[in-house]
Structure 1
Amino acid sequence: MSPDVLAFLAWMRDERRASPHTIEAYGRDIADFLGFLTGYQGAEPDVAALAALRPTDLRAFLAARGGQGAGAATRARQLSTIRSFLRFLARRHGLQPLALAGLRGPRLPRPVPRAIAAEQAIALGQEVGLVHATPRAERGGFQAARDIALFTLLYGCGLRIAEALALDIADAPRPGEDAALRVLGKGGKTRLVPVLPAVRAAMAGWLAHRPDAAPEEPLFLGARGKRLDPAIAQKSMRDYRRLAGLAEHATPHALRHSFATHLLGGGADLRAIQELLGHASLSTTQRYTNVDAAALLATWQKNHPRAGRA
């Protein structure tokens, strides 16, 4: 990678606190863009060439990516990456910022969050450990207690999977404590989330397998003793999903959606849900009102005597 690309990725890591996965994706996006420009302009672009880009050049890149099969979400993300990179270059080299304000990316539909039923979410937290109950399973009890604690935490506190896996032993909620869970969310923002007794009980079952763990050790461990990889947690969910016959949208992130949807259905204030989820904008949280409205409509259609009749 060029020094400018490396400097940009370092800035994203250190100043914007982007996750390693985000930085890796940004690196791929910029490599795609620079590779396209090399073929499009006949030479590898230097800083001067990048400073001379026009919106039509970026549109040509997006069109080429679309022709290669990249979806709207991928192209929108790549455009966002390129905007950030070019603005960084302008500041780094004292260049005139490019006129990109009028360039719009692909229009993306905002999907309605898909929750799972409350009884399914509760059962999942109690039974997910069954996926490790096989004769050949090594440390089956260890992994079962871990998954029960993790998925109970996701549903009980509405955490993102990355937020939960970033916790250390010192952060773990314990029985008898009244302190809220301190969560480090997106953008380095910290929020406090109340912890249900069921979460504390599940966590106690998990910590019983790690009586000598130091406070700075990861709370959730993989089979090799390292911080648990999100892919392993997602596999456990997939295995349980097949075992329990749940829908394909039953993922770890669906537990966060379920947390918000069930709170809203129970009468919780939208602002309070925003704080619990760590959303920067209320408009993001308001998507859950669409879910609740859809549930009300389905209930009405199912139960009203005149529903579906002339």
Structure 2
Amino acid sequence: MLPAHDYAPAPETPADIYAAYLVHLQRRDRGNTAYTQAARSFLRRWPQAQTWADIPLEKQLAANCSTRPFVTFLMVSRRLRPGYDYLVCRKLCSLWHELTDSCLQPDLDQFMTAAMELGFSERVSSAIGSQIIARLLIQTGRPLSDLRESDLQELLHACDTRQARTGRGAKHYRSTTHSARQILFHLGILDTQAPPAATALSLEERMADVPATLRPAFVAYLNRKHATCVPKTVSSLATRLAQFGRYLAAVDPTLTSLSQLDRRRHIEPFITSLTTAVNSVTGEPITVADRIRRVHAVGNFLAEITEWGWDDAPPRRLIFRTDLPRPQRFLPRYLPVDADRKLTAALSSSPYRLAADALLVQRACGLRIGELLDLELDCIHEIPGQGSWLKVPLGKLDSERMVPLDEEVLTLVDRITTTRSPGRPMIHPRTGAPADFLFTHHGKRLSQNAVREELNRAADTAGLGHITPHQLRHTYATALINAGVSLQALMALLGHVSTQMSLRYAHLFDHTVRAEYERALDLAKSHIGGLPTTGRQLPITDVTGASWKDSPAIKSRLAGGYCLRAAAQGSCPYANICEHCPSFHTDATHLGILAAQRIDAHDLATDAEQRGWIDEADRHRKLIARLDTLIAQSAPA
């Protein structure tokens, strides 16, 4: 066997190679006469083992089951470089057993250690090492530290060639190559990190359904928008303009220039068609907000190329403000207190700690999901006398801000720093500068999809419906409004640039509206006056002959009667106050009254639960507990 780091073995005779193979078989405690005879036959025919790589691939793959172990031995001992076409066609199922004590093992151990430090499981690390790294080490004949991007490309090219020849896909090779490239980057072997696994289509490809005569104008406009808009905005514009282009291709195939657009023939029918358009993913009708965005995109496109004086621009304005449907004014979709608590509990007990903790940080700080995943390791700032603050990076509105933190969030961030995967700084997609991101997994930034999947899992565990990450931001803002935070402070904490954005939350629970409601209700009660002493009273229930305990109202049993309140009034703060007062005393002569009151309280609790009045049911349960105590104290010894 060759020394561990002898990458350029001295010339050997067939006898030397055969002797090394016998030692290899003995160390592995396997082999028989068929193995040794196959090795002797191989060496008689190819005394220089490397010449075997020159025979056609079909003959290489036709080697029998006794010859293949010898070929594998030659590869792992760096005596044979068979070619990537052979390596991607062989499964090499027993490769890890063959690697034991081989000259490849130190490099593979180094790679495996780095992979597991980045959060890959041992099984996945082993798969990447055997499928990609071992094949690269065998074919290149170089150590791990000398691997290059071109080596990975040659391996992938061999996979494409195999797919074209046999139809066998190379998806698993591409996936593991992507991960291998990222691990090699963090090891410092490659200079650039792995590109996104899914490559975005070019603008020309995205405009493929636009008529060929109109396509250059669409593409040129989108390229121009790159100068003033972020890539995500340009991508959204491309989606909406491609829809407009497909519409033009369907309704007027003869259209050859945007200057020929006519409002009556093209624009008005397009706007009308949006009322019946459906979402391509869900199949549901598009929302009013989506209709507005589509009209805006087309209107701005046509208006801007006209202002810029393009040759094929429309001669006049074609879309106007009145073409936009009236927007629907929804309140922010916050989580009620009970749902918020259940979701927090599900996230706190999640086994997927990094994504769960990311969501807990978002809920605690009111971040947008993009801002959350852009946080860097140095995002926590300690200000003397002012406590700890979170520096929120540039986000949707291109503005930074500082958010105050409490000890609970600091503990959460400390836990994140221990569960994130370490590694080299990665290129920031916004600035292009190296950055140490807070949320990293498998040597890459945590993706929005991973965060959304964890939120869906936690919501399902908590028994809640579909929840979006932005609802956590709404919940944060709503909690601040309920706590009485000022509008100016809310704007600063949320990073809003206009009061209109923050006023949406102020409208949720307007304390002035509540105070006016209660004032008007009290005034109305005072105008009612006393109840008439004569005449027939109105029925107290909606069921003829029903007991007062069955009435659809909030009810309390009193010493000399009962109290009925409308559900909108809520529970009376004075109901049964005497029974809970420390000055209240009773004795055995009142046991019958207390027992009857307890029966009524039990019936009222059951009635409240059936009507969904949980707080009212709890009030009756507390009264029952208090009555049990009073009855026990009053019972004769």
TM-score interval for Structure 1 and Structure 2 normalised by the shorter chain: 0.7 to 0.9
The match for 2:247 among 36, 46, 52 is 36
Offset, 1:227: 1.7
- Asked whether the 8 Å contact 1:17–1:188 carries over to 2, the reply is no
Shift of the 212–34 alpha-carbon distance from structure 1 to 2, 3 Å rule, reads closer
Structure 1 residue runs of 5 or longer lacking an equivalent are 133-142
Helix, strand or coil at the partner of 2:440: coil
Alpha-carbon RMSD: 3.4
The match for 1:278 among 472, 495, 509 is 495
2:305 alignment counterpart? 89
The question of 1:164 aligning with 2:372 is answered yes
Return the alpha-carbon distance in structure 1 between the equivalents of residues 316 and 375 of structure 2.
Answer: 40
Aligned residues: 291
The match for 2:332 among 92, 103, 113 is 113
Kindly provide the amino acid, as one letter, of the partner of residue 158 in structure 1. Answer: G
- Asked whether the 8 Å contact 2:375–2:392 carries over to 1, the reply is no
Offset, 1:288: 1.4
1:1-310 matches, within 5 Å, as 1=204, 2-19=215-232, 22-49=233-260, 52-54=261-263, 57-69=266-278, 70-71=285-286, 72-94=288-310, 98-118=317-337, 120-121=339-340, 124-125=343-344, 127-128=346-347, 130-132=349-351, 143-144=352-353, 146-171=354-379, 178-210=388-420, 212-214=422-424, 216-222=435-441, 224-248=442-466, 250-293=467-510, 305-308=565-568
- Asked whether the 8 Å contact 2:380–2:388 carries over to 1, the reply is no
Please give the TM-score of this superposition, normalised by the length of structure 2: 0.41
Offset, 1:169: 2.7
Return the alpha-carbon distance in structure 1 between the equivalents of residues 344 and 373 of structure 2.
Answer: 16
Moved more, 72-81 or 122-131: 122-131
Offset, 1:65: 3.0
Offset, 1:245: 1.7
1:135 alignment counterpart? none
Offset, 1:93: 3.1
If asked which structure has higher relative contact order (CA below 8 Å, sep 6+), I would say 1
Offset, 1:173: 6.1
1:136 alignment counterpart? none
Kindly provide the amino acid, as one letter, of the partner of residue 10 in structure 1. Answer: N
Helix, strand or coil at the partner of 1:273: helix
Offset, 1:272: 1.6
The one-character-per-residue Cα deviations of 1:216-239 (angstroms, maximum 9, x if unpaired) are 1332234x4322221221111111
- Asked whether the 8 Å contact 1:264–1:292 carries over to 2, the reply is yes
Offset, 1:61: 0.6
- Asked whether the 8 Å contact 2:292–2:325 carries over to 1, the reply is yes
Offset, 1:204: 0.6
Shift of the 3–284 alpha-carbon distance from structure 1 to 2, 3 Å rule, reads same
Return the alpha-carbon distance in structure 2 between the equivalents of residues 45 and 162 of structure 1.
Answer: 40
The one-character-per-residue Cα deviations of 1:80-133 (angstroms, maximum 9, x if unpaired) are 11122123322443565615334422222121112224465466446415343x
Return the alpha-carbon distance in structure 1 between the equivalents of residues 254 and 381 of structure 2.
Answer: 57
- Asked whether the 8 Å contact 1:169–1:214 carries over to 2, the reply is no
Shift of the 211–251 alpha-carbon distance from structure 1 to 2, 3 Å rule, reads closer
Return the alpha-carbon distance in structure 1 between the equivalents of residues 361 and 413 of structure 2.
Answer: 8
Return the alpha-carbon distance in structure 1 between the equivalents of residues 349 and 568 of structure 2.
Answer: 42
Structure 2 residue runs of 5 or longer lacking an equivalent are 1-203, 205-214, 279-284, 426-434, 522-552, 555-563, 570-637
Helix, strand or coil at the partner of 1:181: strand
Return the alpha-carbon distance in structure 2 between the equivalents of residues 182 and 101 of structure 1.
Answer: 38
- Asked whether the 8 Å contact 2:490–2:502 carries over to 1, the reply is yes
Shift of the 308–212 alpha-carbon distance from structure 1 to 2, 3 Å rule, reads closer
- Asked whether the 8 Å contact 1:182–1:193 carries over to 2, the reply is yes
The one-character-per-residue Cα deviations of 1:175-195 (angstroms, maximum 9, x if unpaired) are 997344233122322222222
Return the alpha-carbon distance in structure 1 between the equivalents of residues 469 and 389 of structure 2.
Answer: 25
Return the alpha-carbon distance in structure 2 between the equivalents of residues 129 and 63 of structure 1.
Answer: 48
Return the alpha-carbon distance in structure 2 between the equivalents of residues 15 and 202 of structure 1.
Answer: 37
Return the alpha-carbon distance in structure 1 between the equivalents of residues 258 and 421 of structure 2.
Answer: 56
Kindly provide the amino acid, as one letter, of the partner of residue 409 in structure 2. Answer: V
Return the alpha-carbon distance in structure 2 between the equivalents of residues 158 and 98 of structure 1.
Answer: 41
Return the alpha-carbon distance in structure 2 between the equivalents of residues 30 and 203 of structure 1.
Answer: 42
Helix, strand or coil at the partner of 2:397: helix
